[in-house]
């Protein structure tokens, strides 16, 4: 189901929870302009429909000792669906891999990785990632700094698009 099938209240609920997932249902209801019981019902419906995948704390990796961020561009030997799925499953099992995206073009996957230090990442790269079945090549780029790290979606873009089509 696309975002355009949600009504304005549902989109407001999602935008508010994306900005602050810890607010109480009473506060959320107040912000979106409805009473608490229907607000809670809507939130549960949004969760069940898959619009809300979970609630997480935004932790600071550097404060926790993860000093190294790396993007790894992976090319596979075979792009058969079973091989793609096997690589995705392997990525889900590697703790240092925080995101795994399949791409089109020359690179098959881009991985966002974190590590406590460069030697930990190097060990992962040489002993696990490049040694994994079906991996043809890996190119890595070390993150120097992050200018923007904003999870979620830009609801203002969705609202502008919907108002143009209304």
Question: Which two structure tokens, joined as six digits, stand for 22?
Answer: 């810890």
Q: 3-57 and 68-142 share one CATH topology?
A: no
| Whole-angstrom distance, CA of residue 79 vs CA of residue 56 | 33
Would you kindly state where each structural domain of the chain is located, as residue ranges?
3-57, 68-142
Q: How confident is residue 165, by pLDDT bands cut at 50, 70 and 90?
A: confident
Nearest to 117 by CA among 140, 142, 99, 138: 142
The 8-class DSSP code of residue 77 comes to S
* pTM of this structure: 0.86
Q: Please give the pLDDT value at position 75.
A: 98
161 pLDDT exceeds 50? Answer: yes
Cβ within 8 Å of residue 102, ≥6 positions away: 84, 88, 108, 109
Element (H, E) at 42: helix 36-48
1 pLDDT exceeds 70? Answer: no
Q: Please give the pLDDT value at position 112.
A: 98
145 pLDDT exceeds 60? Answer: yes
Q: How confident is residue 120, by pLDDT bands cut at 50, 70 and 90?
A: very high
From the options 3.30.70.360, 3.10.20.600, 3.30.70.920, 3.30.70.1350, give the CATH code of 68-142: 3.30.70.920
- Higher per-residue confidence, 119 vs 158: 119
Q: Please give the pLDDT value at position 156.
A: 87
Weakest mean pLDDT among 43-47, 122-126, 148-152: 148-152
Q: How confident is residue 162, by pLDDT bands cut at 50, 70 and 90?
A: confident
Task: Say if residues 68 and 118 touch (Cβ distance below 8 Å).
Answer: yes
CATH number attached to the domain at 3-57: 1.10.10.10
141 phi, psi to nearest 5 deg: -130, 125
Q: Please give the pLDDT value at position 166.
A: 67
Nearest to 135 by CA among 68, 45, 72, 92: 72
Question: What is the longest distance spanned by two Cα atoms in the chain?
Answer: 56
């Amino acid at each position: 189901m696309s975002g355009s099938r949600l009504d304005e209240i549902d989109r407001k609920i999602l935008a508010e929870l994306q900005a602050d997932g810890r607010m109480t249902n009473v506060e959320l209801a107040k912000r979106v302009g409805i009473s608490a019981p229907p607000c809670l019902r809507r939130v549960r419906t949004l969760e069940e429909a898959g619009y809300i995948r979970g609630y997480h704390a935004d932790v600071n990796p550097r404060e926790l000792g993860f000093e190294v961020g790396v993007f790894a561009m992976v090319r596979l030997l075979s792009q058969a669906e079973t091989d793609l799925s096997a690589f995705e499953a392997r990525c889900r099992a590697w703790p240092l891999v925080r995101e795994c995206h399949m791409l089109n073009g020359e690179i098959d996957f881009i991985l966002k990785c974190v590590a406590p230090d460069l030697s930990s990442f190097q060990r992962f790269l040489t002993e696990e990632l490049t040694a994994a079945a079906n991996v043809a090549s890996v190119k890595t780029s070390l993150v120097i700094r992050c200018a923007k790290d904003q999870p979620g979606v830009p609801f203002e873009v969705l609202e502008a698009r919907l108002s143009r089509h209304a």
